[in-house]
């Protein structure tokens, strides 16, 4: 059983052209949406990479601060305290701990 299309005075060619135009428009919309998604994806990747770089910089900065502290007070720090501080530096540089920043005071020297 063949289904006939009601064209209401339009020729089959007119109907095909109209549908072709709608398909082209839909295809263009899909392509534009895909481009927008790719751009958003690229923006997200850029932000992720930027955050990773910032984390690396913060890790290096924290390790540098701890090492500077140890160097300045080497003769007054106990071996166990030095070991703890160096372990903190290693963990920070290896990414084992983040968002942990040591603050130093003179009371730390007796521990």
- Cα 18 from chain centroid (whole Å): 45
Q: What is the pTM of this model?
A: 0.61
pLDDT of residue 44: 98
Nearest to 94 by CA among 56, 65, 61, 66: 56
Give the up-direction half-sphere exposure of residue 46: CA atoms within 13 A in the CB hemisphere: 6
Query: In tens digits, what is the pLDDT along the chain, a chain of 111 residues?
Result: 566 655 577 888 888 999 999 999 999 999 999 999 999 999 999 999 999 999 999 888 888 988 888 888 888 888 888 888 888 888 888 877 767 777 766 665 555
Only one residue has tokens 């372990």, namely 87
pLDDT of residue 1: 55
Q: Which two tokens stand for residue 104?
A: 């130093």
């Amino acid at each position: 059983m063949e289904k006939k299309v009601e064209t209401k005075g339009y020729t089959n060619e007119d109907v095909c052209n109209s549908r072709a135009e709608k398909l082209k428009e839909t295809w263009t919309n899909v392509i534009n949406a895909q481009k927008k998604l790719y751009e958003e994806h690229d923006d997200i990747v850029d932000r992720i990479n930027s955050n990773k770089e910032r984390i690396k910089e913060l890790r290096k900065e924290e390790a540098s601060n701890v090492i500077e502290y140890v160097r300045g007070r080497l003769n007054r720090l106990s071996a166990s305290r030095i070991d703890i501080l160096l372990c903190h530096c290693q963990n920070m540089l290896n990414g084992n701990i983040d968002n942990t920043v040591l603050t130093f005071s003179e009371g730390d020297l007796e521990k």
